[in-house]
Structure 1
Amino acid sequence: MNTIYYVEYDAEHHGPFVFDIPEGHDCWLLVITQTPALFWVKGQLEEFPPYCAVLYPPYSKIYYRACSDQYVNDWIRFASDELYVTETSLPLGEPFALDDPEYCHKLFQLLVAEHSLQKGYKESSIDYLLRTLFNKLLESYVQKNIGPQHYPLMKLRTAIHNHPSHPWTVATMAKTMNISPGYLQLIYKKSFGLSCIDDVIHSRIRLAKEYLRHHPYTVAEIADRCGYRNVEHFCRQFKQITGVSPKRFKHQ
């Protein structure tokens, strides 16, 4: 069972912000930073970049402070007897980089919403959200070498998946990240296992399959809605990925 005492996202602090609890809380504290911060780790202060998570167990020293005039974080103070918390493999009191901070931020928004509700299923909803959050934290912790281009890459990939019909090109994608097209293709494939253009194509075909299943559009209309200016090119790519033509897919 989990009991949330307080949860907040986008908590802003201005001026010389310092959080100093020498004896710790009598419960768990999870902090996710959106700005750089200094944390007390293994007897000394260390500076960490944005998008780090740190989990403090009950009765452990807590000390962190801002690196500039503004400090922003998401945080949750809670009690738990769940094994995924009490026997977690996450490091305790040591910040680590997040793989997908936007996803974790959305989970915090949902936790805040659920915590404010007075409904019968609130406890189970909070438990599922916390389990998901801890799973994402574990995924981040085991992923090594999260470099400075990781977060712009994640933002670009989210944009591709949300707007597959956009006229994406390698050149325009590289320009949004202020890097060369060649370097973008190299790091994109290394990060996600496929090229940025292949990601665009797969996103468009996923959207096309949705239209073919649930909408009465013609193949030409679907091609246009998915970002293709040439129907034959759309049909060719669709068959390459699915093994059947759009018309056959629709009939099946």
Structure 2
Amino acid sequence: MTNIFYVEYDAAHNSNFVFDIPEGHPCWLLVITQTPAQFWVDGKLKDYPPHCAVLFEPHQKVYYRACAEQYINDWIRFESDEPYVTETSLPFGKPFPLDDPEYCHKLFQLLVVENSFKKDYRESSIDCLLRTLFNKLLESYFQEEISPQHYNLLKLRAAIHNNPSHPWTISEMAKIISISPGYLQLIYKKLFGLSCMDDVIHSRIRLAKEYLRHHLYTVAEIADRCGYRNVEHFSRQFKQMTGSSPKRFHKHTGSLTVGTADSDEINP
């Protein structure tokens, strides 16, 4: 059983913020930082960068403080007898960097929402969210060292996925995170398993599939909405990625409007 006593996200404090519980809480405390902070670890205060997680077990000394103009975190106090908590491999009281802080932040937002519902309806959802959160924490803890560009790459990838129709170029992407184009291609593929331009193409084709499934657009209109200035190029890439032409894909899933302007693309 798991019970949340309190959960909050985007908790903001000034530069004088200090959290000091010498005997700890009688329950678990999980803190995820969004800004730099100092934590009491191994008998002394240590500086930690943003996007760290730290798990305190019941009755463990808790001490952390702001070390910048503002301190912001997500945190949760809870009790649980679930093995994914009580038998976790995570360290207690020692911050470690998160590989995907935005994902964890969204889980905290969902936990706040679920915790506001009546007890009868929230227990299974809360347990599922906490299990997912602890899985993400374990992934982060056992991941190789996070590079200085890690979080910039995550933001860049989010921008690509949120706006795939933008005319992305390697030079522009490299400029956004202030590194060379060659280095961007190297570290992007190492982190995500595909090149930055392949990620753009995957995002555009994914968007095109949604248009083909759910909207009354011609192939030419979909190509334009997905960032293609040449409809034949769009059709070739779509078939290369999906094994099907846009027209054939539509026949099985969507509601494509067939127009005369699309005759070349939809009848390959």
- Measured against the shorter chain, the TM-score band is over 0.9
Q: Distance in 2 between matches of 1:160 and 1:6?
A: 35
Unpaired stretches in structure 2, ≥5 consecutive residues:
253-268
- 1:113 maps to 113
TM-score of the pair, normalised by structure 2: 0.90
- 1:239 maps to 239
Instruction: Spell out the pairing of 1:1-252 with structure 2 (5 A cutoff).
Output: 1-118=1-118, 120-252=120-252
Instruction: For residue 93 of structure 1, give the secondary structure of its aligned residue in structure 2.
Output: coil
- 2:257 maps to none
Structure 1 counterpart of 2:44, which letter?
Answer: Q
Q: Distance in 1 between matches of 2:115 and 2:157?
A: 31
Instruction: For residue 120 of structure 1, give the secondary structure of its aligned residue in structure 2.
Output: helix
Q: CA contact under 8 A between 1:25 and 1:59: conserved in structure 2?
A: yes
Q: Distance in 2 between matches of 1:196 and 1:59?
A: 46
Structure 2 counterpart of 1:135, which letter?
Answer: N
Q: 1:227 to 1:119 in 2, by over 3 A?
A: farther
Comparing 179-188 with 95-104, which one deviates more in the overlay? 179-188
How much has 1:239 moved relative to structure 2? 1.5
Comparing 92-101 with 206-215, which one deviates more in the overlay? 206-215
TM-score of the pair, normalised by structure 1: 0.96
Q: Distance in 2 between matches of 1:120 and 1:80?
A: 17
Structure 2 counterpart of 1:106, which letter?
Answer: K
Give RMSD over aligned pairs. Answer: 1.3
The total of aligned residue pairs comes to 252
Q: Deviations over 1:128-168 (max 9, x none)?
A: 11111111111111112111211110011111112111111
Q: CA contact under 8 A between 2:15 and 2:67: conserved in structure 1?
A: no
How much has 1:215 moved relative to structure 2? 2.3
Q: Deviations over 1:195-238 (max 9, x none)?
A: 10000001111111122222232111111111101001101111
How much has 1:24 moved relative to structure 2? 0.8
Comparing 47-56 with 161-170, which one deviates more in the overlay? 161-170
Structure 2 counterpart of 1:54, which letter?
Answer: V
Unpaired stretches in structure 1, ≥5 consecutive residues:
none
Q: Distance in 2 between matches of 1:214 and 1:65?
A: 50
Larger radius of gyration: 2
Q: CA contact under 8 A between 2:35 and 2:51: conserved in structure 1?
A: yes
Q: Deviations over 1:66-121 (max 9, x none)?
A: 11231111110110011111111111111110011111111111111221222631
Q: Distance in 2 between matches of 1:157 and 1:69?
A: 29
